[in-house]
Amino acid sequence: MVDLVQSVASSFPTDRKSFDSVIMISNSVTKIRQIHEVIPSGIGTTILTSKSRVIESFADDDIAVVMMDESLSTMGLQILNQLHDMILQAIGEGRIARGEKILVVLAEPLDGLFSIDTTMLNANRFATLSAEINVDLEVLTKSMQLARHIGSRGREGHSVGALFAIGSLPKLRKYSTPLVLNPFKGHDAEKKSILHDENHETLAEFAWLDGAIFFNKEGVASDAGRYIQVPAGTQPKYGEGGRHLAARAISQLAECAAICVSSSGKITLYVNGRERYKVRLN
């Protein structure tokens, strides 16, 4: 263990900035504490674990630890594939800039240290998906940003869910019916665009209505409170609720992207009827 701590410490010479951020993956409270101490302040650090006891151990600290969906003990070296996807998704969402250099620390059940230069990652899941549905990458990544805003904040202190879809408006409207009067009608496109961060609070308020909120391919909101007409006989998958079923259905019927924010803290992106991306916020 001492070697791993020393290796991390030596990765940050005092005369230059060698890494932009650190990702640590561990199920050991002790190792997390020891390694965290040698990471210089100002370096963005993400800590992941698959044990709830680890998160509970840091409840009273300034060290933030995030729960992973899968068990580290059963993943083995597959963690490297998941890490690769996580970084690509973060680039696609704009949380990591292309060109950053990341230090990855594995500290139980696997121990290891390696660096990732994001300029060498030429694949991008979100770029592929945006091309698939003919939507600009910025619109798709801003949609995920809005989903994170909704999922992490909730409403009036309570976790809430939301559903929104991006695609051809005639197709989206064909497979849905209005539940409320359209609150977006008559407003300027600039004030309804998902591309502007200052609009996200307003968009979130309407996304919390029953039904779905629709965006055109340019990211301009068009409708809110739309009820998705799920075809008769369509069966939910295991663990899939009504909102997820509606998101999957509209993404297939309208050949679009649909994003479901669940009240349990998960964001799921469906494209053309298939689940293509999922992230847990807590």
How confident is the prediction along the chain (282 residues), in pLDDT tens digits per residue? Answer: 458 899 998 888 876 678 888 999 999 999 999 999 999 888 888 888 888 899 999 888 878 888 876 677 777 777 776 677 677 667 766 677 777 889 999 988 888 898 888 876 644 677 788 888 899 888 988 898 888 888 876 555 555 789 999 999 999 999 999 998 989 998 999 999 999 989 999 998 888 788 899 999 999 999 999 999 988 877 777 767 888 999 999 999 999 999 999 877 788 999 998 988 887 765
Considering the four listed CATH numbers 3.40.50.2300, 3.40.1700.10, 3.30.420.40, 2.40.50.140, the one that applies to the domain covering 125-280 is: 3.40.1700.10
What is the token pair recorded at 244? 């997820």
> What pTM was computed for the model?
0.63
Q: Quote the pLDDT of residue 278.
A: 83
Q: At what angle do helices 137-153 and 200-207 cross, to 10 degrees?
A: 70
CB distance 243 to 163 below 8 Å: yes
Q: Spell out the domain ranges in the chain.
A: 2-120, 125-280
Q: Quote the pLDDT of residue 149.
A: 82
- Other C-beta atoms closer than 10 Å to the C-beta of 95 total 16
Task: End-to-end CA distance of the chain: give it in Å, rounded.
Answer: 29
CATH placement of domain 2-120? 3.40.1380.20
Enumerate the β-bridge partners of residue 78: none
**DSSP of 143-176:** HHHHHHHHHHH-BTTB---EEEEES-HHHHHHTE
